Amino acid sequence: MSKFVSKINVNSATYLENYAYHQSLAATLRTRISTVVDGGRDKVLQRQRARKKLLPRERIDLLVDPCTPFLEFSTLAAYDQYGGSVHGAGIVTGIGIVQDTQVVIIANDSTIKGGAYYPETVKKHVRAQEIAENLKLPCLYLVDCGGAYLPEWDRVFPDRDHFGNIFFRQCNMSSLGLPQISAVFGVSTAGAAYIPALSDETVMVRDNATIHLGGPSIVKVAINEEATAQELGGAEMHTTTSGVSDYIAETEQEAIARLRSIVAGFNRTSTNHQRSQAPKDPLYSMDEIQGVLSKDPSHPYDVHEVMARLVDDSDLQEFKPQWGLSIVCATAHLHGYPLGIIGNNGPLNSDASVKAAHFIELCEQRNIPLLFLHNVPGFMVGKEAERGGIAKHSAKLVYAMSCAKVPRLSVVIGGSYGAGNYGMCGRGFRPDFLFAWPNSLVATMSADIACNVVTELARTSVNRKATPESLATLEAETREIYDRASGAYYATSRLWDDGVIEPAQTRDILGLCLAAVATKPPQEGRSYVYRM
């Protein structure tokens, strides 16, 4: 292995300007996360306390083993949508450790619109289940949910990946031997009643928890019957009469203790399928990444400098270091786990594409997980590139990446544009985990190029009489759309990633991801290397 020697001058004016800029982005991220967690709804939180109910993250803190991390997903889902009132899409999801067992936790937040399911809530819930199924992890559901948000029913209820998909996945994971366990802390009504009803075991909290397909108002309208919520579906009735619930708890703390005891009886063992080693800190501080990253996205920086601040001992074994220079491929260790890293140093030309495809096959043969660091303007264009076969060579990279059976992680650390996003394992290619930095941009192309394209099309259109004024208006509208829709918060609000994270947190978050994927057995399949 070769320890990387940094060329960054941490006292230079450029470094200090970059550092200050990215520090401000990190501060903005922290503020927005703080608002999502507990901001702007004091009255609702007070009512929660009065009912002796905990908040979802408090429940999770009690559930997971002491002093163990919780890897939360998509904290800013639905951010800046619905008038900014649906914080975190009304649900908290992530991976935690309970009784020394990795589990996926899905917790409704009833302080957000009663825990109702918006389109982003469904998407976030299903994404957590997808991770659980992929990594063969049990699911624990902390239920406090009023069902689908009725005004959005057409985007929540009927389609393949809508609300019903939650229950489809729950049933199939149970059939695969992945335990599905629920604790009900509040309302679980309408479709949400199936979350505990389909669980392998269910706990309910006396007085607060209810499970019913139709609440008192629906029952009154449907069959003209008067009934209270507790009569219809309270913990006492369901545990002693209907049998829907298996255990009754007097308090939320008791219900969480019961969950922990159930997990202790799973009789599951986990094996590390990677040859890990003792972790070592990088030679350079992770905090320095904020000075490495350019303030201006159009100004390049060397992705080696980012890698050296992520991996153990800043030790990189670079593959083909003298060829295909617009992409960097290297093996290393991160928190002791082996890792193959692919990062961009410019647009992907034919040489870079073939080099990366070759490297992916090496990692596939050796069962080494892959990490893609996106900062890519796309694949090279132009006459020379096309004559050199960029279409077929870029397709080799997309093919190798798509078919790789090893775990794949992605972090968008800069721009991720066009087919470059595809070649670098964007969301459409189902990486095991995908995170983004606050400065990240994801779009079909940059705003500058988009403006040039649409104005040129308008100028040459036979059906449109372009004037200088109309072209200026079109350019302004196009730039506004791209500037607004390509940023990190727009993307994470729509769950195009698994969360926006600070650059300085990336090493530890990737370490948690690698620990999760290391328990997944290698998949059978091809293991040869074809030098394309």
Q: Is residue 451 predicted with pLDDT exceeding 80?
A: yes
Residue 53 contacts residue 327 (beta carbons within 8 Å) = no
| Tens-digit pLDDT profile for residues 7-56 | 999 999 999 999 999 999 999 999 999 999 987 778 888 888 888 899 99
The burial class, CB within 10 Å (0-12 / 13-18 / 19+), for 469 is exposed
The burial class, CB within 10 Å (0-12 / 13-18 / 19+), for 287 is middle
Alpha helices in 240-339 (DSSP H): 252-264, 289-292, 303-308
Describe the crossing of helices 468-485 and 447-460 by its angle, rounded to 10 degrees: 150
Residue 137 contacts residue 131 (beta carbons within 8 Å) = yes
Beta-strand pair 337-344/315-319: unpaired
Distance from chain centroid for Cα 426 = 12
Query: Residue 35: helix, strand or coil by DSSP?
Result: helix
**Confidence band for 532, pLDDT divided at 50, 70 and 90:** low
Q: Which residues of 335-345 are buried (b: 16+ CB within 10 A; e: fewer)?
A: bbbbbbbbbbb
**Longest CA pairwise span in the chain (Å):** 79
Residue with the two structure tokens 């470059």: 420
- Which amino acid, 232? L
List the Cα angle 397/355/502 in 5-degree steps. Answer: 75
6: tokens are: 């940094």
The rounded percent of the chain whose pLDDT value lies above 90 is: 78
45: tokens are: 């939180």
The rounded percent of the chain whose pLDDT value lies above 70 is: 98
pLDDT for res 38: 83
**Confidence band for 218, pLDDT divided at 50, 70 and 90:** confident
User: CA 303 to CA 374: how far, in whole Å?
Assistant: 10
Cα torsion at 165, 167, 171, 173 (round to 10°)?
Answer: 60
| Tens-digit pLDDT profile for residues 231-241 | 889 999 999 99
Return the number of other C-beta atoms located less than 10 Å from residue 441's C-beta.
23
User: CA 147 to CA 116: how far, in whole Å?
Assistant: 5
117: tokens are: 């399911």
pLDDT for res 448: 86
User: CA 491 to CA 440: how far, in whole Å?
Assistant: 9
